[in-house]
Structures are given as structure tokens and as C-alpha cells.
Structure 1
């Protein structure tokens, strides 16, 4: 688990630290090291697909501090600008997307029947990833079995055997971070409700955070989340 001596309190900072810890866990499962320095988590090696080479942990982090610690010699460098405060255009980056950090206060666990359940073995993790990605990952799995032993829970709706919906839930920084939410029937409200029932059951009394945009953000807000701050993801296509 990463620590940041410059971190402050508040729901947005908790969401940022939780997400950075999740990114660090995914990278470590691939044998890619990362470290915190100057309010930035970064890896000097290219990280796995869809995961950033750097994550800012403080709004005071500078563009210079970010780009100095990542590989700019090959295409595909990416930066999670956690407070939407960087300008990386001069360094050859362009904005890939913008989103909002979201926070839902702790609630009492529901008393209804259990719905989504945790994936417990390597075979089911492979099935979860295939359901999430649509057709499996190119070049091997993105989510390695080591993540099951690293404080991460892969939630799945598998009432009829096949996985039809799910999400990742990662406990760090005193909150549960939810990411990679998906559902085969496009009913995002139902997916969020089931996901939150599961997180409340597994971690009663713990707030839930994440980041979303578009329709997934709108559904999250309808299910009790509050936007607590902007973020921006930058991508550099040239080496």
C-alpha cells in the first residue's frame, strides 16, 4: 500500500489516494514498480494497458515533477492529473478524457439477500475479465491473480453461472474505491445498487469513492454519490 506524506484530508484526497493505491497494485502485479515522490506516484517503466504512468497526489504537483519521472521515449505515456491542475500540452500530451471524483458517505449495510459476490479463485477471475472486456484481454490477462491477495475484491453478478455484471472494489486510504463497473444489460442504476449493496455488506460503515463521467457518473449520482472534484487523464501518442 502506498503512503504519501504530503496528503491531506477530505473525500477528494481520499479518492485520489485510494485510486493511486489501486493503480500501484495493478502495476506491481505485472512486475512494474512505482514510487511516491514530490506528491506524485510514478513508474519509470511503461505501465499495463489502461493504467497511468503517473498519478498526482497533490494539487501542488508540477508538470515538471511528473514528466521527469516517466518514460517519454516511446508512445503511450499517460498521466492521471488528479486535480485537473496540470498543463502537459507543451510536453506533447493531449487530454484523453475528463471526469469527476465521486464520494458516497458510509451507510448501514442492507438486510436484503446477498446479490453480487466476490470472485474467489483464478479461474473465476479470468471469467470476470472476459465479461468485463467483452472478449478477453490481448497479450494475456490485465488483472493478475496476485490482486486477489492484495486487498482487492472483484465483485460479480453470477446468479445463473455466467458473469453478467461486476466491478472492482479496493480498500485503501480508509475508503472503498469502486472502478471498472460493467453490466451486460446497460442498466447502470441497477448495477450501482447491487455494487453498493455488496460494498456495504463487505465493508459496513466505510465510505465508497471512485471516478466517473458520462452516463455512469449520472447513474452514480442517482444512487447517492456526490461529485467532489475534477480529474483529467493525459495521453502522449508520440515517443
Structure 2
């Protein structure tokens, strides 16, 4: 994928890695995407929570994006990777703003453990049910992702054999991208969720310990906002650029 030469390397890696992850999720649902004019986009509506387009260059224009996605009904979303677009005239509203984050490989790995890769379709189903917060899996994350480089990290309660915390780790573009980080909000026994029960800081420590074990010496990237961003910064990440997600509510 092409990244504008004016963009710093950590930001370029974060954007490219995330676009590749979005593409992988869409392909797992049989929804094709392609790169053209500094934009990854799908002409068909993408799976829930995943964008119809991702900008790969700050030079991308609204026309570069809008001409390549389905605008026949509300619900289209665009990941404006550099916070540089204004899509309000096309019926879009800002869904949220966040910051890309990058943790250099030179940062020492936390001492934490207990998170292991999910290795089967059944465990992936359990992982998604825990991540959803509703105890149910809607099939958003297909088993084919396990063969496409995605690693679903999970902490499991020894007592109940249930997933209590986790994240998605996706290697590519010279980094490991982390998304969908979560920890159980509550448990029958606090000891069941262990360190993850302490909140996002502990979840990040466990996640980073796992990524360092699986991909030693590789930088970690992602994006966060609000309290989750603050927790990531406390664990050695640095903000490297803004992003904005637009949702089409009109039309």
C-alpha cells in the first residue's frame, strides 16, 4: 500500500498495518477491497464496525474516498487516518476522534503473563463472546483470520475456562498492530481475571508481554482515545498522529 512520503515512519506503519487488518476482516466476509489514489476502499458495505474506506495519504480528497464507496444508503463509514478530511457536505458526521500510537521496540517488555493465542474456531467464538460484553458471538471474526496472520490473544479463567481479557494482534508493515483490547468489567471471583481485572493498564501489560514473546524486538502500534489512550501512554506508547472516523447518517 502507498503511504505519502511526508508522513513519519511510525505513523505510516500504524496506518498501513490498520488498513491491512481492515482488509483482512473484509476479505474474511467475502467483501473485496482495493487501494487506489491513496485510499483503501470497498465498493460494497463492509462488516459492522469496519470502515468502507481508509485513507493512506493526507493528500487524499473527499472525492477520492466518496467515489469508491456505497452511498446508496446511510451507514457508510470512513477512517480519515490523518484527520484531514471534511465529509460533512456528503451527509457524514464525526463518530469519534483518536490518536495513532506507537511503542518503540527499544521499550522494555512488561513482566506479565497469562495471555495466549486462540488456536481454534471454537475458542475464537468464545473470545468474540467475551469481547462483545454481551456474552454472545455474532460471527464478526471469522476462523479464516487465524490463517491470515491474525493472532487473537486471550486470558482464560482457570476456574471457569472462559475468556476474561484479550486483544487482536496483527503483524505487518514492520510492526504489530493491536486492536480490540478488552478486559472483563466484572467477574464472579476477582482472582479469575487476575491482573486484567485491574483495568486497561494491566491489560496492556499482559498484551505487551505476549507480543514481545511472539514478536521480540518488533514495535507495537494501534489507536486509542480517552482513558484508553491515557492507559496506553502510561505503558510506553507515544502519540504519532490524529485520526477521525466519519459515519454517514444522512441520505
Q: TM-score, normalised by structure 2?
A: 0.89
How many aligned positions are there?
A: 236
In the other structure, the counterpart of 2:88 is: 89
1:200 pairs with 2:212: yes
1:148 pairs with 2:146: yes
- Which consecutive aligned stretches of 4+ in structure 1 deviate over 3 angstroms post-superposition? 5-9, 107-114
1:38 pairs with 2:37: yes
Moved more, 152-161 or 76-85: 152-161
Q: Against the structure 1 CA distance between its residues 108 and 233, is the aligned structure 2 distance closer, same or farther, given a 3 Å change threshold?
A: closer
> For the Cα contact (< 8 Å) 2:130–2:136, is it kept in 1?
no
CA RMSD of superposed structures (Å): 1.8
In the other structure, the counterpart of 2:173 is: 173
Within 1, Cα distance between the matches of 2:152 and 2:135? 16
Structure 1 residue 125 displacement after superposition: 0.1
In the other structure, the counterpart of 1:217 is: 229
Within 1, Cα distance between the matches of 2:91 and 2:238? 33
> For the Cα contact (< 8 Å) 2:110–2:208, is it kept in 1?
no
Q: TM-score, normalised by structure 1?
A: 0.94
Within 2, Cα distance between the matches of 1:97 and 1:112? 33
Within 2, Cα distance between the matches of 1:111 and 1:103? 16
Can you give the 5+ residue segments of structure 1 that lack an aligned partner in the other structure?
A: none
Within 1, Cα distance between the matches of 2:165 and 2:30? 28
> For the Cα contact (< 8 Å) 1:108–1:204, is it kept in 2?
no
Can you give the 5+ residue segments of structure 2 that lack an aligned partner in the other structure?
A: 185-196
Structure 1 residue 237 displacement after superposition: 1.5
Moved more, 155-164 or 19-28: 155-164
In the other structure, the counterpart of 1:53 is: 52
Write the deviation string for residues 117-174 of structure 1: whole angstroms up to 9, x where unpaired: 0000000000000000022567x40000000001100000114121110000000111
Within 2, Cα distance between the matches of 1:113 and 1:215? 21
